[in-house]
Structure 1
Amino acid sequence: MVGSTRRVAAPVIGAEVVVMSKPFGVRRPAWPTTSRLAPTALRGIGVVTVVRRVLTRIPPRPSRLYGEGMRWTTVTVGAAWVAALVVTTAWLVAPGSKPLLVPFVAQVIVGLVPLALAIPLARRLPGHPASALLAAAGLGAIVSSAPVDTMTSPSAGSWMLLYLSFAILLLVVPDGRTASRRWATVGWVLCSVVAAFIAVVAVQALVPALLAPTTPVALALLPIFLALLVACAAAPIVRYRRSDERARLQLRWIYVTGASLPVTLLLCWASYLVFGTPDLVAIGLVLMYTAIPAGVTMSLLHPDAVDIDRAAVATVTATVLSVAALGVLSVASAVVGLALVDWSPVAAIATAVGLTLAAVLSYPFVRRGADHVLYPERGRAVTGLRRLSVRVDAGAAEPEEVENALQTALRDEGLRIGYRRLSDAALVGLDGRPIAVRETTASVRVRGDEIGAIVPSAGRVKRPAGAIATAAAPLLDAIRMRAELSLAMSEVAASRSRILKAGYDERRRLERDLHDGAQQRLVALGMRLRVLQRTSSADDHLSETLDTAVAELGTAVAELRQIAHGVRPSALDDGLGPALAGLTRLAPDTIELDVQDADLPDAVTTTAYFVASEAVANALRHAEASRIRIDVTMDAAALHLAVADDGRGGARLRTTGGLTGLVDRVEALGGSLTVDSAPGRGTRVEAVLPCGS
């Protein structure tokens, strides 16, 4: 991992085997030691024993997976920490360790990352093998910096143990067991290959005479080992398609961070292609020893803390493009017969530029494909929302269809769409009812302000992706504005209705006051004057004066009656039919009446009377009609009034005038007024007035 790059001769192992019998060529410091077998023994305690324990428990009994009796993982973590401290202390005081103290400390720090993260896993999930495997990996990283000559030591082949713990970990996460017995077989075969390779290298170091016959075996084990590592890295992806929603959320963390394992192999490959040496593998090992432990810990303890979807897609995309680029370089190097570093500068630069441009141009397509494969639901949702937006813009759909679109795309029938009301910022659904916010609720924002939310059903464990919320934002904003506008219009209509009803009530009160108050007093005063006239002495002048006063009183009473009738016709006290019948007296030979009378609210009867009265007056005054027909019918919800004449037509609704006032009256009750008046074909005024209450 981190150490000296000094080359050391290896007479017991062939030159080709020397390159690959280290952790992909990483050169560790050649420090003196009293026992060259001690590092191998410590690694066996820290890695092989744990791996054997994990694989023999695959698949474990569900009742014991996290049971109280399974404390072996906690013991393993504690033992790994003790061993790491002992080894670190021993090597710090070893003779000759001072010159290479910095590389050694750096490697110890890298090993402490999985060791430290194994502690919370062991406490939170006491029976899960992940903590033991992380502890084993950390201990192996620390022990791998043993002050020995890694080229000639019997432990030279133990570099494979650096990968073994993480490979097994990728097989058993997130539930602590492999997906099937076949994957358990992969783990067993991997352990067998590692053990065989370590044994072959040890035999070569201890018995130089066996170097020639064992070298082909070591070379054959290397590609098998590499293939098994790639299979372990692919295990989370294969398991993803068969897992439930929570397991998928955990697996996203695994295959994002687990990609550091094949990335390490790719770096080694690239290092050989470019420089002819495997030195770049150290970067991959550092990445692997930090990314995989962090990803496993987040996966098992807090999988929903961060939206990992974009990182997952980007990781898969970058891996695919890297493999493709390295494949091209491999073919080119094989054809030329030289590593890239030995090419001419012009050819090397041209190749690098060409591969970079190809990767940039291919990135959107590869990313789209990875997104479709990894997150088909998100792709369906975003595509469906975009198509719905186009249909809404074209007037072929309504924004409220967004809820059904998301329910279908995400396969969540209980999903709800909510918007924030402007008045109180409460979250309400499309039906206007409040919606409870859950942990999986995804906020929808426009210009930085939260306008609503996507609320999955209670069974969901992950909130919808940010891309879905972004795609739904314009539709939800339109829904919100439409709802607020509808609410405002309803409030205005209700206010107009209340004002109109209050006006009708006030007119009725005024009519009653005029009839029962001033009118009665004037009539009584006239009668008293007549009595006074009859009982007074014969005086012609006084009698004429009293006659004049009584006549004036009669005129005042008649005028009051006209005023009262204009405020509200007294005939409406007997219903709409008698009131309309009074209109026929204006032109008995011209006006026809057909009324279906019923018990109606006072506001409805008054409005209907004024509509009929205004239409009849216009027909008599301006239309020169010879026939006027008034029809009143009823259904379950509304009163239908129609006034038709055979006059000259041409009537129009203007900004001012009697018909415009009628429109305001009718719409205040929630009704509608239409005027059909073609020139020369008469006029038809029709009003529909709701009368459900």
Structure 2
Amino acid sequence: MEAISTLPPARTGAAGAWRWVCVAVCAATALAACLLWSLSGSALNDVRQVVAVGVIAAVLIALALIAQSAAPHDPSGALIAVQALVVVLTNSTVLPPALDGAWMLLYAPVALLLVLVPSGRAASRRWGLAGWALVAVCAAFNLLFLARATLPFAADLPDALGVALLPLFLGLLITCALAPIARYRHADAEARLRLRWVLVAGLSLPLTLLLCWTSYLVIGGPDLVVIGLGVMLLAIPAGITVALARPRLFDVDRAALATITATVLATGVLAALSTAGIIAGSALVDWSPPAALTATAVATLSAVATYPFLRGVFERMLYPERARALRALHALSARVDQDGHAPEAVEQVLRDALRDPGLVIGYRMPGMPGLRRLDGTEVVAGDDAVPVRVRGEEAGAIIPSPQAPARLGADVVHAAGPLIDAARSRAQLSRANAEVEASRARMLRVGYEAQRRLERDLHDGTQQRLVAVGMRLRVLQRAAVHDPTVAAALDTAVAELSTAIAELRRIAHGVRPSALDDGLAAALGHLGRSTDPSIELDIHAEGVPDAVATTAYFIISEAVANALRHAEADAVSVSVRVDRGLLRIRIRDDGRGGAHPHPTGGLTGLADRAAAHGGSLDVHSPPGGGTRIEAVLPCES
């Protein structure tokens, strides 16, 4: 795996300083050459050429400064500056006529850039030798012309020497152009991202050839190719600069797809127009303007209509992981819409489709800082995190792993956005429901504690005082034997006091049965003995917390009362068991059945009691078939 290499600190500083000097010298020399050139020429065509070359050189110098600032250890900035100088010198009148082979120098800096990108050094010694061999061929070609012009004994050197260097130059140029492609196969994810910028910029070469083809087809000559060459001289340095400075400026893969698709369609359009010219027996330039415009419009509209389909084909060929991700996301969206499938599966879908098991989705949860998982744990987002926006709001971010084979595309992020937002909304709703359930459980426990205190206060306080008053009245009644009126009044008071004590005991029992102090089994046993007919009990609920036991007792006692009073049942059975942290309750009777929960009915009250404790209650009561009530309560046993 190849990594972006760096030099030791001392050498890096020295090399960086020399490269800054190189950039400055090239910029000053190019500026001086443009000034001399502009002063020496006066024709309108010369002025236009000076302006065009000056603009290209200025852009290249700006790119050199950006590249040098972004990667001081990398020679790319200096080479781009040299490219600017060569563009000025080879297109101006500053160079002597003896250097007729200077055109070759236009390609040398670009070739070296392609060999060195993105690490600043060649991938191997052989690739480095190819770059230096190209420079040597350029130097030999120009020295040959210079010797023939300046040295008398070299004037008769055969032209075959120069001609022999041209195939070698072309072969080395093609070799250098293949260097980024060969390096891409063994590069890591970061280097591949940088190289994709270079490969996209390299597509300017076939576009230049297409422009040359267009020029011959439309105007009958190669004049338009100059525009393509100018674009190519800017595109490759610009691609390398972006690769070094801001490789994540935007989605380079989308740019590559668009460029490749446009190139293929342009080739098709030109081929169709050329075929039409061959069939018509004349080039497009010789057609009448209406016919030429009609043919061009038809071919262009056909290309526009074909663009989406052809782009999809290239996307599946070049970026299969993106095509897989889009298909999987669309399938998941359909399942969510039709079958109620959980949108939380979007994370696993992206992991599988993108071949990135370490991919994580972080969500923006209201009231929580940073990114969070659905369970609330914090997520650390690095530089590779891709924000996901839905309706102008950041719903979260997709965070690829460092070993991710490919960068996320904007279309994948856009397709995942609604699913991520839906998963976030469901998590918020679930968290809100959990908070409500927890609040209800806390309120239930507080209520039970208050009932427990009230029952104890009634039993140990008020009830004992009333009993003491009753005993005192009995003593006074025995002392008042000589006054029948007083004795009768005291007897009435004692009877009423006994009735009040009995009612107070029933109230205390309704608040919370004191039998629960001995556990749920004891309380239910007392309940079974006090009913007529007696109920069948099967109780295995040792160590149940008091709040759970209280809820279970009231559910059972009310269900039994309903069965005996309203369902006319002859037999009732109650089963209570603790099973894996859950208290499972079942009450069955042989009554008339047909019981259904009503908004204000007793069964709804039982369900509310169970739900308040985080449990559930189910009623099965077919007409004439009895009633079965099953409740499940969380139990911390």
TM-score range, shorter chain: 0.7 to 0.9
Q: Is the 8 A contact 1:246 1:462 kept in 2?
A: no
Q: Which residue in the other structure is 1:91 paired with?
A: 37
Q: Which residue in the other structure is 1:275 paired with?
A: 219
Q: Which residue in the other structure is 1:170 paired with?
A: 114
What is the distance in 2 between the residues matched to 1:322 and 1:202?
A: 42
Query: Could you give the per-residue CA deviations for residues 527-554 of structure 1, whole angstroms, max 9, x where no partner exists?
Result: 1122122223611111111111111111
Q: Secondary structure at the match of 1:686?
A: strand
Q: 1:634 to 1:125 in 2, by over 3 A?
A: closer
Q: 1:535 to 1:184 in 2, by over 3 A?
A: same
Q: 1:215 to 1:204 in 2, by over 3 A?
A: farther
Q: Which residue in the other structure is 1:575 paired with?
A: 519
Q: Which residue in the other structure is 1:244 paired with?
A: 188
2:430 to 473, 486, 509: 486
Q: 1:468 to 1:112 in 2, by over 3 A?
A: same
Q: Secondary structure at the match of 1:684?
A: strand
Q: Which residue in the other structure is 1:443 paired with?
A: 387
Instruction: Give the Å deviation of 1:562.
Output: 1.4
Unaligned runs of 5+ in 1: 1-59
Q: Which residue in the other structure is 2:82 paired with?
A: 136
How many residue pairs get aligned? The number is: 628
What is the distance in 2 between the residues matched to 1:235 and 1:332?
A: 39
Instruction: Give the Å deviation of 1:300.
Output: 1.5
Amino acid at match of 1:500: L
Aligned positions of 1:91-490 closer than 5 A: 91-94=37-40, 100-122=46-68, 125-126=71-72, 128-147=74-93, 155-179=99-123, 235-237=179-181, 239-331=183-275, 338-395=282-339, 397-424=341-368, 426-458=370-402, 464-490=408-434
Q: 1:521 to 1:188 in 2, by over 3 A?
A: closer
Instruction: Give the Å deviation of 1:516.
Output: 1.9
What is the distance in 1 between the residues matched to 2:542 and 2:603?
A: 25
Q: 1:111 to 1:239 in 2, by over 3 A?
A: same
Instruction: Give the Å deviation of 1:502.
Output: 1.8
Instruction: Give the Å deviation of 1:433.
Output: 0.2
Instruction: Give the Å deviation of 1:250.
Output: 0.9
Instruction: Give the Å deviation of 1:312.
Output: 2.2
Query: Could you give the per-residue CA deviations for residues 124-183 of structure 1, whole angstroms, max 9, x where no partner exists?
Result: 545534234322321121112333999xx5545543433343244234322234556776
Q: Is the 8 A contact 2:346 2:416 kept in 1?
A: yes
Q: 1:322 to 1:180 in 2, by over 3 A?
A: farther
Q: Which residue in the other structure is 2:550 paired with?
A: 606
What is the distance in 2 between the residues matched to 1:264 and 1:68?
A: 39
Instruction: Give the Å deviation of 1:504.
Output: 1.4
Is 1:624 the counterpart of 2:572? The answer is no
Instruction: Give the Å deviation of 1:261.
Output: 3.4
2:501 to 554, 557, 581: 557
Instruction: Give the Å deviation of 1:186.
Output: 6.4
Q: 1:628 to 1:538 in 2, by over 3 A?
A: same
What is the distance in 2 between the residues matched to 1:316 and 1:429?
A: 39
Q: Is the 8 A contact 2:364 2:394 kept in 1?
A: yes
What is the distance in 2 between the residues matched to 1:223 and 1:397?
A: 63
Instruction: Give the Å deviation of 1:514.
Output: 1.5
Q: 1:686 to 1:81 in 2, by over 3 A?
A: closer
Q: Is the 8 A contact 2:594 2:624 kept in 1?
A: yes
Q: Which residue in the other structure is 1:536 paired with?
A: 480
What is the distance in 2 between the residues matched to 1:433 and 1:456?
A: 18
TM score, norm. by length of structure 1: 0.80
Amino acid at match of 2:419: L
Instruction: Give the Å deviation of 1:64.
Output: 8.7
Query: Could you give the per-residue CA deviations for residues 459-491 of structure 1, whole angstroms, max 9, x where no partner exists?
Result: 669863322221111111111111111111111
Amino acid at match of 2:554: F
What is the distance in 2 between the residues matched to 1:224 and 1:337?
A: 39
Q: 1:214 to 1:673 in 2, by over 3 A?
A: same
Q: Secondary structure at the match of 1:603?
A: helix
Q: Secondary structure at the match of 1:166?
A: helix
Q: 1:282 to 1:520 in 2, by over 3 A?
A: same
Q: Which residue in the other structure is 2:626 paired with?
A: 682
Q: Which residue in the other structure is 1:49 paired with?
A: none
Unaligned runs of 5+ in 2: none
Query: Could you give the per-residue CA deviations for residues 268-305 of structure 1, whole angstroms, max 9, x where no partner exists?
Result: 23212221222212322332343332222221122223
Q: 1:109 to 1:646 in 2, by over 3 A?
A: closer
Q: 1:131 to 1:575 in 2, by over 3 A?
A: closer
Q: Secondary structure at the match of 1:633?
A: strand
Q: 1:616 to 1:75 in 2, by over 3 A?
A: closer
Query: Could you give the per-residue CA deviations for residues 645-670 of structure 1, whole angstroms, max 9, x where no partner exists?
Result: 22222222222222211111111112
Q: Secondary structure at the match of 1:360?
A: helix
Q: 1:191 to 1:645 in 2, by over 3 A?
A: same
Q: Is the 8 A contact 1:111 1:289 kept in 2?
A: no
Q: 1:680 to 1:321 in 2, by over 3 A?
A: same
What is the distance in 1 between the residues matched to 2:311 and 2:44?
A: 49
Q: Is the 8 A contact 1:440 1:462 kept in 2?
A: no
Query: Could you give the per-residue CA deviations for residues 320-374 of structure 1, whole angstroms, max 9, x where no partner exists?
Result: 2223333444555566664421234354234312321332133123322333344
Amino acid at match of 1:109: V
Query: Could you give the per-residue CA deviations for residues 94-141 of structure 1, whole angstroms, max 9, x where no partner exists?
Result: 376798345324322322322343345446545534234322321121
Query: Quick check: 429-438 or 530-539, which moved more?
Result: 530-539
2:612 to 668, 672, 677: 668
Q: 1:395 to 1:129 in 2, by over 3 A?
A: same
Q: 1:563 to 1:90 in 2, by over 3 A?
A: closer
What is the distance in 2 between the residues matched to 1:171 and 1:320?
A: 27
What is the distance in 2 between the residues matched to 1:120 and 1:622?
A: 88
Q: Is the 8 A contact 1:230 1:262 kept in 2?
A: no
What is the distance in 1 between the residues matched to 2:127 and 2:217?
A: 32
Instruction: Give the Å deviation of 1:241.
Output: 3.9
What is the distance in 2 between the residues matched to 1:138 and 1:61?
A: 26
Query: Quick check: 537-546 or 574-583, which moved more?
Result: 574-583
Query: Quick check: 492-501 or 422-431, which moved more?
Result: 422-431
Instruction: Give the Å deviation of 1:429.
Output: 0.7
What is the distance in 2 between the residues matched to 1:271 and 1:203?
A: 37
Q: Is the 8 A contact 1:233 1:261 kept in 2?
A: no
Q: 1:154 to 1:662 in 2, by over 3 A?
A: same
RMSD value over aligned CA atoms?
Answer: 3.7
Q: Which residue in the other structure is 1:16 paired with?
A: none
Instruction: Give the Å deviation of 1:684.
Output: 1.8
Q: Is the 8 A contact 2:388 2:395 kept in 1?
A: yes
Query: Could you give the per-residue CA deviations for residues 37-87 of structure 1, whole angstroms, max 9, x where no partner exists?
Result: xxxxxxxxxxxxxxxxxxxxxxx9986997566576556445434543453
Q: Which residue in the other structure is 1:514 paired with?
A: 458
Q: 1:133 to 1:558 in 2, by over 3 A?
A: same
Amino acid at match of 2:33: V
Amino acid at match of 1:286: G
